[in-house]
Amino acid sequence: MFKRINLFLAVVASMALSVSVYADAYTNIGRAATAEEIAAWDIDVRPDFKGLPAGSGSVEEGEELWEEKCASCHGVFGESNEVFTPIVGGISEGDVKAGRVANLVGNRQPQKTTIMKVATISTLWDYINRAMPWTAPKSLKPDEVYAATAYILSLSGVIPEDFTLSDKNIAEVQKLMPNRNGMSLKHGLRTVDGKPDVHSKACMKNCKTTGKLTSTFPVSARNTHGNIQQQNRTFGAVRGIDTTQPPAKTLKETQERLKLAATEKKGSAKAKGDMLSVAKKNNCLTCHGVKNKIVGPSFNDIATKYKDVKNANVTLEGKVKKGTSGTWGDIPMPAQSASDRDIKALVNWILKGN
Amino acid sequence: MDDRNKKTGRIQSAPENFLDADLAHEITTKGLNPERRSFMLKSFLAASAAIASGSAFAGKAKSAGDPNILNLPEHSTTLGKPVTANPYGVPSKYETNLLRRESPGLTRVSAASVSFAPLQGLFGIITPSGLHFERHHQGWHDIDPSKHRFMINGLVKNPKVYTMDDLMRLPSVSRMHFIECGANSAMEWGNNAVPTVQYTHGMLSCSEFTGVPLSVLLDDCGYDKKKGKFVLAEGSDGSGMTRTVPIDQALDDVIVAWAMNGEMLRPENGYPLRLVVPGVQGVSWVKWLRRIEVGDKPYATKDEAVHYIDLMPDGQYRQYTSIQECKSVITSPSAGQVLLDKGFYNITGLAWSGRGKIKRVDVSVDGGKNWKKARLESPDLPKCLRRFNFDWVWDGSPAILQSRAIDETGYVQPKINELREVRGTRSIYHNNAIQSWKLAASGELSNVQTY
């Protein structure tokens, strides 16, 4: 079908040798994009800096901006692992010289930071410009993007603290990127006709194996993803294992458990999981973790704070509904649009602690 | 009341047949008048009465047997719900266990996270749209299609803007393809880290997609055939997801799609417009697609320069790794499931390849020592899931179940040690190793590695 369309167009083109014929084929479908429209959307910045707007930002300005708009998620030094993997850390002076990050060899630093991986400064600029801050993407001005990028690079020791990054000197800074020589295109996974790098054979009989289990999923972890029994049908060829119990030892034990499970009434231990999904549905978990702080305090910290406060639920319901600030820090919580019923239930659940 | 009934002497058992065929025809063509209405009511009552007395009789019978057979259930003895009781149908209320789920601890915030499809309980190759795996980088939105715009610019003669009206007028294709996240099975490069196939392989789905070939649109804008080497696809979500696609691929089988499985895309899957890049990892299938730019160089965007890069043992990253190589997995019986008894089982699973069609799938029940060919189900399509089945009788002794796929290029799905020899254990992406499930004498299955 594709081929046919291409063929059709090729034939049309060769007859008239004019692009306007293409347009004729689909008259009145689509229209010319205006220069303003293209400018509004064509924001990408390439490694050769095509698309980079003019501007500049200093490390100092970057620090200020970072503390205001980035640190709540990424940590004051870009080191936080709470909302996302750390942006800064894991590189040395030698890396800046070599353009290869030594910590990427072996398993010296299991947690890879952004700066350890990124080879091209344009990637940072482009991404911060299009997507950060996470909850208010595309709100930064070009100068602010320069400043934020400068701050990240200064924290990483790539540029000095008194540096001002601009469209004029960004190509020079590219030459200092710690992992600038760290990318390879020599592999067969780029295109459909690329050559595979792993070559196996399909042995059918008496094949060589180690006969050993080189890894097993730990029994102690079998309930970490919730009870697997409830993630399978209650009828059919198989059942889910009740992972709240230790493994059955014999088929007979398995069958006794299955019989018991079939006669038991459906569990009522769902309540806890349900409130978590209510919190998720209402977007609370974008800013709050149950156990960890994100932008807002952790739910458990809220529970602890109000443990002995009378009628805390009423006060907090109001705050969630109308929005609030100043109790936990500078970042405000916007008014939440959840239903009154959900807010009431959520606040009660938060205050109980989990 | 009905001539046919009189002739055969049978009582009509199904309530929907209580109306005389002629009368039914008259009603559908001329509508209900009060007279007909009352006639219909009477015949209906008569029919229900006949059925009710039948069930009462069955209830009294004292012969031995399954009460589910002997006591007619409510659905056999009462009138069911009318049409359009669910104007948009939903699964049975008994189907509440198979849901897409997050892997706890994998990501830190759920708007930049992934939910896995419950492969352990799915059949055939089409993923129900509501169970299609999700991966968002900055949350999802439900976008008003009348306001959605799609732009093509860059190395083109005529940069253009299309509305959904425009796009949906163009010549469309419908194609079935799998979509797999490049990070599917990522947690298993080293040790077994997750309990079931939902979490080891659930960033995999397969659908029929409908849309206009990107080649048609590129032609329509007069793309630069000499200088144009790559296209950049860009999403309209907060992340402005961007990925580079080589132009040959873009012209080959890439689709600018609006439909999935007969209906419009689901919001979580990019409503109203997404890119379909067959055989290539999911991140390139940019959702909420707003723009294609034709360029002469790759773009090194965040999700192709910082993520979705494969770390090799020498500390180099492979960049622009895209193709999902040949892979398969047994979906049932699989880890976290338990067999009910000894005897016959249908071992079933999925095979796929980003390089074309699946040629063969082998199954081993002894940890890879001996293999036999599995039955392949239709359809046989390139870059699409293929369902396989394998007859097996469990004798009650421990076993290790594995599957191995071979695609039309002759490439054989590797063992984990073969992958590791080349790529080490830290490359995160593109783990297409043979998966092993250990079956214990108790009937319980668990996730293991062996080779």
Residue in B345, B372, B396 closest to A237 by CB? B345
Q: Is B137:B112 a contact under the CB 8 Å cutoff?
A: yes
> Which of A19-23, B166-170, B310-314, B336-340 is predicted least confidently?
A19-23
Higher pLDDT, A280 or B148: B148
Whether residue A213 and residue B213 make contact (CB cut-off 8 A), yes or no, is: no
Nearest chain A Cα distance for residue B193, angstroms: 6
Residues of chain A with Cβ-Cβ distance to B239 below 8 Å are 130-131, 137
Looking at B315, B347, B380, the residue that finishes a domain is B315
Q: Do B308 and B271 share a structural domain?
A: yes
Is residue A174 less than 8 Å (CB to CB) from chain B? Answer: no
The amino acid at residue A130 is R
Q: Is residue A58 very low, low, confident or very high in pLDDT (cuts 50, 70, 90)?
A: very high
Whether residue B195 and residue A225 make contact (CB cut-off 8 A), yes or no, is: yes
CATH of the domain at B173: 3.90.420.10
Whether residue B309 and residue A117 make contact (CB cut-off 8 A), yes or no, is: yes
Whether residue B153 and residue A33 make contact (CB cut-off 8 A), yes or no, is: yes
Has residue B73 been placed in a domain?
Answer: no
Query: Residue B309: which of B296, B300, B318 has the closest Cα?
Result: B318
The amino acid at residue B448 is V
Tokens 């950060």 -> residue: A132
Q: Is B294:B224 a contact under the CB 8 Å cutoff?
A: yes
Is residue A213 less than 8 Å (CB to CB) from chain B? Answer: yes
Has residue B49 been placed in a domain?
Answer: no
pLDDT at position A115 over 90: yes
Element (H, E) at B114: strand B113-115
Which residues have CB under 8 Å from A323's CB, separation 6+?
A: A332, A333, A334, A335, A336
Q: Do B279 and B157 share a structural domain?
A: yes
Q: Do B182 and B311 share a structural domain?
A: yes
Has residue B119 been placed in a domain?
Answer: no
Chains A and B: how many Cβ contacts under 8 Å? 380
Surface-to-core class of residue A85, CB atoms within 10 Å of its CB (0-12 exposed, 13-18 middle, 19+ buried): middle
Looking at B281, B315, B349, the residue that finishes a domain is B315
Which pLDDT does position B53 carry in this prediction? 40
Higher pLDDT, B7 or B359: B359
Angle between helices A312-322 and A340-352 (to 10 degrees): 130
The two beta strands, B230-235 and B289-295, are antiparallel
pLDDT at position A257 over 70: yes
Element (H, E) at B113: strand B113-115
**Residue B246 to residue B159: CA distance in whole angstroms:** 19
Residue in A42, A184, A228 closest to B318 by CB? A184
Residue in B105, B157, B332 closest to A237 by CB? B332
Whether residue A31 and residue B160 make contact (CB cut-off 8 A), yes or no, is: yes
Is residue A238 less than 8 Å (CB to CB) from chain B? Answer: yes
Which pLDDT does position A13 carry in this prediction? 41
Q: Do B428 and B327 share a structural domain?
A: yes
pLDDT at position B151 over 90: yes
Single pTM value for the model? 0.80
Is residue A212 less than 8 Å (CB to CB) from chain B? Answer: yes
Q: Is residue A335 very low, low, confident or very high in pLDDT (cuts 50, 70, 90)?
A: confident
**Residue B398 to residue B403: CA distance in whole angstroms:** 17
pLDDT at position B3 over 50: no
The DSSP-derived string for A101-133 is: -GGGSTTS-SS--HHHH---HHHHHHHHHHH-S
Q: Report, as an integer, the average pLDDT of B171-197.
A: 96
Q: Do B247 and B139 share a structural domain?
A: yes
Surface-to-core class of residue B187, CB atoms within 10 Å of its CB (0-12 exposed, 13-18 middle, 19+ buried): middle
Q: What are phi and psi of B439, to 5 degrees?
A: -105, 120
Residues of chain A with Cβ-Cβ distance to B318 below 8 Å are 183-187, 189
Query: Residue B174: which of B276, B55, B318 has the closest Cα?
Result: B276
In degrees, to the nearest 5, what angle opens at C-alpha A251 toward C-alphas A249 and A255?
A: 110
The DSSP-derived string for B337-367 is: EEESSSEEEEEEEEEE-TTS-EEEEEEESBT
Whether residue A83 and residue B108 make contact (CB cut-off 8 A), yes or no, is: yes
Has residue B210 been placed in a domain?
Answer: yes
Residue in A190, A212, A221 closest to B450 by CB? A212
Which pLDDT does position B62 carry in this prediction? 57
pLDDT at position B45 over 60: no
Mean pLDDT of chain A: 89
**Residue A226 to residue A244: CA distance in whole angstroms:** 8
Whether residue A38 and residue B108 make contact (CB cut-off 8 A), yes or no, is: no
Among A130, A205, A278, A280, the residue to mutate for chain B (most B Cβ within 10 A)? A130
Residue in B314, B442, B447 closest to A217 by CB? B447
For B124-163, letters b (16+ CB in 10 Å) and e give ebbbbbebbbbbbbbbbeebebeebbbbbbbbbebbbbbb
Has residue B44 been placed in a domain?
Answer: no
The domain total for chain B is 2
Q: Do B356 and B294 share a structural domain?
A: no
**Residue B106 to residue B116: CA distance in whole angstroms:** 12
Has residue B50 been placed in a domain?
Answer: no
Is residue A354 less than 8 Å (CB to CB) from chain B? Answer: no
pLDDT in tens, B198-212: 999 999 999 999 999
Which residues have CB under 8 Å from B326's CB, separation 6+?
A: B351, B352, B353, B354, B355, B358, B405, B406, B407, B411, B412, B413, B432
Spacing of C-alpha B352 from chain mean position: 13
Share of chain B above pLDDT 90, in %: 83
The DSSP-derived string for B398-431 is: -EEEEEEEEETT--BPPPHHHHHHHH-S---S--
Residues of chain B with Cβ-Cβ distance to A213 below 8 Å are 438, 448-450
Q: Do B224 and B148 share a structural domain?
A: yes
Q: Is residue A19 very low, low, confident or very high in pLDDT (cuts 50, 70, 90)?
A: very low
The two beta strands, B386-394 and A31-32, are unpaired
pLDDT at position B43 over 80: no
Whether residue B220 and residue A258 make contact (CB cut-off 8 A), yes or no, is: no
Q: Do B258 and B193 share a structural domain?
A: yes
Question: Which chain B residue has its CA at the smallest distance from A248's CA?
Answer: B442
What is the SS3 assignment for B125? coil
pLDDT in tens, B292-311: 999 999 999 999 999 999 99
Residues of chain B with Cβ-Cβ distance to A42 below 8 Å are 153-154, 291, 293
**Residue A260 to residue A147: CA distance in whole angstroms:** 64
Chain A from 19 to 58: CB within 8 A of any B CB: 19, 22-23, 25-26, 29-33, 37-38, 41-44, 46-48, 50
CATH of the domain at B327: 2.60.40.650
Query: Residue A45: which of B245, B291, B301 has the closest Cα?
Result: B301
Q: Do B285 and B154 share a structural domain?
A: yes
Q: Is residue A269 very low, low, confident or very high in pLDDT (cuts 50, 70, 90)?
A: very low
Residue in A102, A206, A247 closest to B442 by CB? A247
Element (H, E) at B37: helix B34-60
Q: Is B196:B122 a contact under the CB 8 Å cutoff?
A: no
Which residues have CB under 8 Å from B193's CB, separation 6+?
A: A217, B187
Whether residue B414 and residue A41 make contact (CB cut-off 8 A), yes or no, is: no
Has residue B368 been placed in a domain?
Answer: yes
pLDDT at position B22 over 80: no
Angle between helices A340-352 and A271-281 (to 10 degrees): 130
Q: Is residue B28 very low, low, confident or very high in pLDDT (cuts 50, 70, 90)?
A: very low
Residues of chain A with Cβ-Cβ distance to B293 below 8 Å are 42, 44
Among A3, A27, A29, the residue to mutate for chain B (most B Cβ within 10 A)? A29
Share of chain B above pLDDT 70, in %: 86
Whether residue A230 and residue B97 make contact (CB cut-off 8 A), yes or no, is: yes
What is the SS3 assignment for A236? coil
Nearest chain A Cα distance for residue B366, angstroms: 9
pLDDT at position B155 over 80: yes
Which residues have CB under 8 Å from B29's CB, separation 6+?
A: none
Which pLDDT does position B107 carry in this prediction? 83
pLDDT in tens, B241-268: 999 999 999 999 999 999 999 999 999 9
Looking at B285, B315, B345, the residue that finishes a domain is B315
Question: Which chain B residue has its CA at the smallest distance from A21's CA?
Answer: B220
For B304-316, letters b (16+ CB in 10 Å) and e give bbbbbbbbbeebb
Is residue A184 less than 8 Å (CB to CB) from chain B? Answer: yes
Residue in A112, A130, A240 closest to B240 by CB? A130
Residues of chain A with Cβ-Cβ distance to B449 below 8 Å are 213-216
Domain that holds residue B373: 3-16+323-448
Maximum Cα–Cα distance across chain A: 85
Question: Which chain B residue has its CA at the smallest distance from A12's CA?
Answer: B219
pLDDT in tens, A164-190: 999 999 999 999 999 999 999 999 999
How many C-beta atoms surround the C-beta of residue A108 within 10 A? 11
pLDDT at position A135 over 50: yes
Q: Do B294 and B343 share a structural domain?
A: no
Mean pLDDT of chain B: 89
Q: Is B138:B112 a contact under the CB 8 Å cutoff?
A: yes
Residues of chain B with Cβ-Cβ distance to A105 below 8 Å are 313-315
pLDDT at position A7 over 90: no
Q: Do B382 and B242 share a structural domain?
A: no
- The token duo for A21 is 């014929």
> Which of A123-132, A302-311, B213-222, B415-424 is predicted least confidently?
A302-311
**Residue B175 to residue B276: CA distance in whole angstroms:** 10
CA distances in angstroms from B171 to A20, B212, B216, B264, B378, listed in the order given: 19, 6, 8, 17, 27
Q: Is B300:B246 a contact under the CB 8 Å cutoff?
A: no
CA distances in angstroms from B166 to A40, B145, B333, listed in the order given: 21, 12, 47
**Residue A213 to residue A210: CA distance in whole angstroms:** 8
Whether residue A25 and residue B368 make contact (CB cut-off 8 A), yes or no, is: no
Q: Do B303 and B333 share a structural domain?
A: no
State whether ipTM is beyond 0.90: no
Angle between helices A142-155 and A121-131 (to 10 degrees): 130
Q: Mind listing the domains of chain A with CATH numbers?
A: 56-174 (1.10.760.10), 230-352 (1.10.760.10)
Residues of chain B with Cβ-Cβ distance to A84 below 8 Å are 108-109, 112
Which pLDDT does position B196 carry in this prediction? 98
Residue in B151, B238, B338 closest to A239 by CB? B338
Has residue B431 been placed in a domain?
Answer: yes
> Which of A65-69, A283-287, B57-61, B400-404 is predicted least confidently?
B57-61
pLDDT at position A56 over 90: yes
Q: Is A30:B164 a contact under the CB 8 Å cutoff?
A: no
Which pLDDT does position A273 carry in this prediction? 55
**Residue A3 to residue B432: CA distance in whole angstroms:** 31
Whether residue B332 and residue A238 make contact (CB cut-off 8 A), yes or no, is: yes
